[in-house]
Amino acid sequence: MPKITATYEMTAWSENTVRDLPPPQKCTNVVAPGNFSGAMQGEGSSFYLLNYVTEKTGFFTGYTCFKGKIGTKQGSFVLADDGKFDEAGAYTKWTIIKASGSGDLSGISGTGGFSATEGMKVTFDLNYKLPE
């Protein structure tokens, strides 16, 4: 299974409270468009649901949609995010959603993730497999 390293930089972060909980807890949703560069090149959009346990710690789940290319293969697919955040950064595990691939990336499968310690730019690893 090939492993690639690339970068995803979110260009905006729109976060809205969806449920007030006893402070400091809260539940929010996020829409964050961005761009992929390096071994994955293209556009992205992340959609998260965050559960704050304290003002600076919590958990999130969501999806990141990718449209672009890996090497010479052009297409799109969706990554499921499962992560947590704290004062030091954000950490997620990605799983490519089965049957979400299109174009040359049809049938793609795999896993990956990132540890982010600086703002809205992350470097990640992705192990993937394409049908032969």
* Prediction pTM value: 0.93
Average the pLDDT over 18-45 and give the result. 95
* Percent of residues, the chain, with pLDDT higher than 90: 92
Q: Which residues contact 130 (CB under 8 A, 6 or more apart)?
A: 73, 104, 105, 107, 108
Which pair of structure tokens corresponds to residue 49? 């649901």
In this structure, the dihedral spanned by the alpha carbons of residues 103, 101, 38 and 126, taken in order and rounded to 10 degrees, is: -150
Output the average pLDDT for the chain: 95
Tell me the C-alpha to C-alpha distance, in Å, between residue 26 and each of 8, 46, 115. Answer: 26, 20, 23
DSSP state of 56: S
Q: How far apart, in whole angstroms, are the C-alpha atoms of residue 127 and residue 15?
A: 30
User: Would you state the pLDDT for residue 49?
Assistant: 97
CA-atom Rg of the chain in angstroms: 15
Evaluate whether 51 touches 29 at the Cβ level (below 8 Å): no
Residue 117 confidence class, pLDDT cut points 50, 70, 90: confident
- Could you report the per-residue pLDDT of 9-26, keeping only the tens digit for each? 999 999 999 988 899 999
**Structural domains in the chain?**
3-129 (2.40.350.10)
Residue 120 confidence class, pLDDT cut points 50, 70, 90: confident
